[in-house]
Structure 1
């Protein structure tokens, strides 16, 4: 892949972790560059690649502030609110439909092929 050390899948040495692994440890990359790459070969397709970061250079995850918590709650409420009927459906509105399922199933929006 270039100048980075490359390891086979599940054979990376200790001291390296992916973003998800760092997050599970309560850490974040903290601005460091990618330290190594892990590749998993696949037949007839491009290999899967995971970027590794050094654990000793990682920083702790920043704590959640009240402002960030409020902003995330507001964003999630917007994803759950149907733009058509303006109700909070309790689930994220599918982007492919653009509205909640009950609104999509009503006759003006649905192209019914059984006539």
Structure 2
């Protein structure tokens, strides 16, 4: 059996499954969002655990929520939609030339690429 297979939660405190082996009826936040759902205040129901090769063997964890208890995502109100558009526009606007760069400005430069490398 896998080290991270603990469906009763005796070893890790929560039902635990190896990466990609969660049973049906559980989903991560991203998976819920892709289906138009949100956790809706429910507690974490289970977790996935795996060794990450990218982080040199560190154990990674992803929390799972029950899909039958998930609620639909609340739609954006017109005010929130306008505020989001303004925030995204601000991230694209160069503080030097004050033009919309068409992309999010790199934080390392703080300006659009032409302004950063103009001289």
Task: With the length of structure 2 as denominator, give the TM-score of the two structures.
Answer: 0.83
Q: Does 1:42 align with 2:69?
A: no
Q: Which residue of 1 aligns with 2:117?
A: 105
After superposition, residues 1-115 of structure 1 pair within 5 angstroms as 2-43=12-53, 44-107=56-119
**Greater mean deviation of Cα atoms: 12-21 or 42-51:** 42-51
Does 16-25 or 39-48 show the bigger shift?
Answer: 39-48
**Which ranges of 4 or more aligned residues in structure 1 deviate by more than 4 Å?**
none
Q: Which runs of 5+ in 1 are unaligned?
A: 108-115
TM-score (norm 1): 0.86
Task: Give, in whole Å, the separation in 2 of the partners of 1:32 and 1:13.
Answer: 18
CA-based RMSD: 1.4
Q: Bigger radius of gyration, 1 or 2? A: 1
Q: Secondary structure at the match of 1:82?
A: coil
> How far apart, CA to CA, are the structure 2 residues paired with 1:41 and 1:101?
38
- Write out per-residue CA displacement over residues 14-53 of structure 1, whole angstroms, 9 at most, x where no aligned residue: 1100011111111001111111110122354212221100
Note the C-alpha offset of 1:2: 3.3
Total equivalences in the alignment: 107
